[in-house]
Homo-oligomer: A and B are copies of this chain.
Amino acid sequence: MTTILRLGHRRGRDDRISTHVGLVARQFGAGKIIYAGEKDENMMESLEDVVKRWGGNFSVEYNKSFRKTIREFDGTTIHLTMYGIPFQEKMEELKEVKDKEDLLIVVGSQKVPKEIYDMVDHNIAVGSQPHSEVAALGVFMYELDGGKIPQDFKNAEIEVVPQEKGKKTLEK
């Protein structure tokens, strides 16, 4: 299973970005997201509502101590950062790791504590430019899954019927 750890949430200022990180985590196949930083029950509930309506096995947790989350994680830890090694150079290695172990993907906020870079097993860049952790997570998980996006979200109450024009959903 892949778990996402989102660092440094600030209530109000970060709620939309943190929600987006959670939506991407769920959509691209993670089993869990753990939020650190300020506890924000509204933001977490809005994500849980998405899971309830749209299905899938995805849980939303809070743990104030990102240090503890990283140190106690039983598996391989990967920090996404524009300062890390280009993901293309590590992808084959990381795909093999993913087949054997659980992954913790750490996604930063405005200010990532320096110690994070040393605590994790890999610092990985999706482009070496100022970037969005939301898009970085999406592209990284997409590639890690071999260029696929999971289609099957179990126990959904609703699903989209793709259309050339307009919106169509099916209540199940």
- In this assembly, does A78 line the interface, its C-beta being within 8 Å of a C-beta of chain B? no
B117 pairs with A83, CB closer than 8 A? no
Give the complex CA separation of A135 and B133 in angstroms: 9
Q: How many residues of A contact B (CB 8 A)?
A: 54
Residue of B nearest to A50 (CB): B130
**Residue of A81, A132, A164 most packed against chain B (CB within 10 A):** A132
Assuming A50-B130, A138-B132, A139-B139, is B164 touching A123 (CB within 8 A)? yes
- The answer on a CB contact under 8 Å between A83 and B16 is no
Does residue A127 face the partner (Cβ distance < 8 Å to B)? Answer: yes
**Which residues in A have some Cβ–Cβ distance to B below 8 Å?**
13-14, 16-17, 20-21, 23-24, 26-28, 50, 54, 81-86, 114, 117-118, 122-123, 125-132, 134-139, 142-143, 147, 149, 151, 153, 159-160, 162-169
